[in-house]
């Protein structure tokens, strides 16, 4: 049973729905909503004329004329009639799946209202609850597959285990080849297939046959599946002396604020004086958790958000209650996938000039959903209100044309930002008088596009992944002549912060990779030279993952991140902005204790 606070219960996100959207767009051209089914049943079958010269549709028996008013009874009757017609006459290739038929009908009906109301069947609702609990059930390992020079998958391998997880306790290590799971051969299978075999109910056994890296010895390992922690704050470390970094891309779950408090305490002990909060790719979650994070930086009485429901319902305002807020200068990183609860946090901090926002314009989701339990374990997530930021901004993007596909693509995650977006909505002002606008998400104070590569170059880099993995396996096993110092034959050291001295990639190592990739995978030296930075970054990531775990390996990528670099450069501006906001607040509330 999932437990929500009253605040969390009323405001949920699109983290699960965004994954489900792409299932919908594949079927959008032929999906009929319940309303469409009604039109079909009453219009098409109310005629006696044939549709074509070859196929005749029998006339519907005469019935009493129905009232023009659409009532629940009429809808129920017509829907039943439509299902009956489908049962008796459908002759397509697909087998009838009544759960899917009803689910898509309900979803399509809801999407005529807004893009964020959705129906979850029992299985999806269980996944939703697991998603919000910051855990899953399995063995607790990062896995990846590797292909041969012909592109055929060889096997799936262990890349890292998580601290305290079943796989870690069982002694699995980087490079262990997964030969079988519970008697099912996994050689030649991609990691997605193997992952499904490894996950399962708590307390069940996953019997693995593995082949150890280096020795080639096969062992049988029995692992009891258990809850595996999936923190919503994936990274917490010092980017440089005095500057802390929180990577909050795991959504806002039931444990987010608790994680935030613990991570902030740890960073403070390490000397943090300035902070970067990374909300890129955070699709939202429990807004009560996002509000509590905002409250940590806001003073008593400062508004976090306002919720406005349907006509006749009271407006609710949520204010900070914190007599001793944190005063560290803050930069918040956002992008086009920053949505919902994340936008509430970013919007509150921007409106009060408490943080400088850097990156791309956010997604623009400003609607409030409430979960309604339905029969057979399902859940209806229905929009009941909209929210505004402290300055009064409604950040929800336009959906007046009802085109779900365009909403998520042209205007959302896949929009073209080559031309700066012009303000679309009403103008509001931050505490220091800066202009901000409604109607299109949160516009950053400093716009920075991520580094992008062409499709052709992406194809080249993907082609280098298997040579990099294969070389890294030999390197870590101590099999590369002259580079035996890179051998890693010990358990993962968790909680390590990346240092420049950790496994540097020098010319000797890079040249060894070129020789290996050329002989084993026929990779031309010019190709490797052209992607030297990528190759070096990926090999170092493999080394760090083997020695320090997956979470520390993410820090390698951060060293190449242009948006993080800009966030670091912007910290002095964030500090000035925060000071100006405090002065403005002191003038407007002279009696308040500062």
Compute the distance between CA of residue 444 and CA of residue 460 in angstroms, rounded to an integer: 33
The distance in angstroms from the start CA to the end CA of the chain is 43
Question: 3-state DSSP call for residue 357?
Answer: strand
H, E, C per residue of 256-325: HHHHHHHHHHHHHHCCCCEEEEECCCCCCECHHHHHHHHHCCCCCCCEEEEEEECCCCCCEEEECCCCCC
Catalytic residue among 176, 351, 353, 431: 351
Contacts for 248 with CB less than 8 Å, ≥ 6 apart: 232, 233, 234, 256, 260, 277, 278, 279, 282, 342
Q: Give the SS3 label for residue 385.
A: strand
Q: Is 300 a catalytic residue?
A: no
Angle at 295 between CA 292 and CA 300, to 5 degrees: 135
403 contacts: CB under 8 Å, gap ≥ 6: none
The DSSP bridge partners found for residue 380 are 119, 372
Within a 10 A sphere around the Cβ of 96, how many other Cβ atoms? Answer: 11
User: b or e along 333-351 (b: 16 or more beta carbons within 10 Å of the residue's beta carbon)?
Assistant: bbbbbbbbbbbbbbbbbbb
Q: CA dist 250 to 70, 137, 139, 140, 230, Å?
A: 43, 17, 19, 16, 8
Tell me which of 247, 365, 514, 575 is the catalytic residue: 365
- Residue 220 is given by DSSP the state E
Q: Is 152 a catalytic residue?
A: no
CB burial of residue 9 (10 Å; 0-12, 13-18, 19+): middle
SS3 241: coil
CB-side neighbour CA atoms (13 Å) of 16: 21
CB atoms within 10 A of CB 428: 18
Annotation marks residue 351 as catalytic: yes
**Which entry of 134, 236, 340, 466 is annotated as an active-site residue?**
340
Q: Return the structure tokens found at 185.
A: 């051969």
Q: Which residues form the catalytic set?
A: 340, 351, 365
């Amino acid at each position: 049973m999932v437990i929500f606070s009253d605040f969390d219960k009323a405001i949920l996100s699109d983290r699960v729905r965004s994954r489900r959207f792409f299932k919908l767009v594949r079927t959008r051209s032929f999906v009929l909503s319940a309303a469409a089914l009604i039109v079909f049943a009453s219009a098409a079958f109310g005629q006696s004329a044939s549709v074509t010269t070859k196929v005749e549709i029998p006339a519907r028996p005469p019935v009493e004329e129905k009232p023009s008013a659409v009532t629940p009874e009429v809808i129920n009757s017509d829907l039943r009639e439509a299902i009956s017609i489908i049962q008796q006459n459908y002759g397509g290739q697909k087998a009838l799946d009544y759960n899917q038929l009803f689910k898509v009908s309900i979803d399509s009906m809801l999407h005529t209202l807004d893009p964020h109301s959705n129906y979850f069947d029992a299985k999806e609702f269980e996944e939703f609850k697991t998603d919000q609990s910051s855990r899953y059930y399995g063995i607790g390992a990062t896995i990846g597959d590797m292909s041969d020079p012909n592109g055929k998958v060889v096997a799936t391998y262990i890349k890292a285990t998580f601290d305290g997880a079943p796989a870690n306790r069982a002694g699995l290590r980087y490079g262990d080849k997964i030969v079988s799971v519970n008697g099912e051969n996994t050689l030649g299978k991609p990691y997605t297939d193997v992952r499904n075999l490894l996950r399962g109910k708590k307390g069940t056994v996953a019997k693995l046959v593995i082949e150890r890296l280096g020795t080639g010895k096969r062992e049988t390992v029995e692992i009891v599946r258990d809850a595996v922690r999936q923190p919503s704050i994936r990274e917490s470390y010092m980017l440089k002396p005095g500057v802390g970094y929180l990577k909050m891309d795991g959504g806002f779950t039931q444990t987010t604020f608790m994680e935030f408090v613990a991570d902030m305490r740890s960073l403070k002990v390490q000397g943090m004086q300035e902070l970067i909060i990374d909300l890129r790719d955070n699709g939202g979650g429990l807004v009560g958790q996002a509000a509590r994070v905002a409250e940590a930086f806001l003073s008593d009485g400062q508004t976090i958000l306002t919720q406005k429901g349907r006509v006749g319902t009271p407006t609710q305002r949520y204010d900070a209650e914190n007599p001793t807020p944190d005063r560290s200068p803050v930069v918040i990183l956002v992008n086009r996938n920053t949505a919902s609860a994340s936008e509430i946090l970013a919007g509150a901090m921007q409106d009060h000039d408490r943080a400088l926002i850097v990156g791309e314009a956010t997604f623009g989701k400003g609607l409030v959903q409430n979960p309604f339990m339905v029969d057979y374990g399902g859940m209806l997530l229905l929009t009941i209100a909209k929210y505004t930021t402290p300055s009064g901004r409604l950040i929800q993007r336009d959906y007046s044309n009802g085109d779900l596909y365009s909403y998520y693509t042209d205007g959302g995650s896949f929009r073209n930002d080559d031309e700066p977006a012009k303000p679309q909505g009403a103008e509001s002002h931050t505490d220091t008088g800066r202009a901000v606008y409604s109607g299109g998400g949160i516009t950053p104070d400093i716009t920075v596009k991520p580094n992008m590569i062409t499709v052709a170059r992406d194809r080249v880099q993907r082609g280098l992944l298997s040579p990099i993995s294969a070389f890294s396996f030999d390197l870590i096993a101590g099999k590369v002549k002259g580079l035996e110092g890179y051998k890693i034959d010990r358990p993962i050291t968790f909680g390590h912060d990346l240092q420049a001295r950790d496994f540097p990639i020098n010319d000797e190592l890079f040249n060894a990779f070129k020789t290996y990739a050329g002989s084993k995978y026929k990779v031309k030296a010019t190709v490797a030279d052209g992607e030297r930075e990528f190759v070096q970054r990926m090999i170092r990531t493999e080394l760090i993952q083997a020695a320090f775990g997956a979470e520390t390996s993410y820090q390698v990528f951060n060293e190449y991140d242009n948006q993080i670099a800009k966030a670091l450069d912007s910290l002095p501006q964030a500090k000035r902005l925060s000071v100006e906001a405090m002065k403005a607040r002191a003038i407007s509330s002279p009696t308040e204790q500062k």
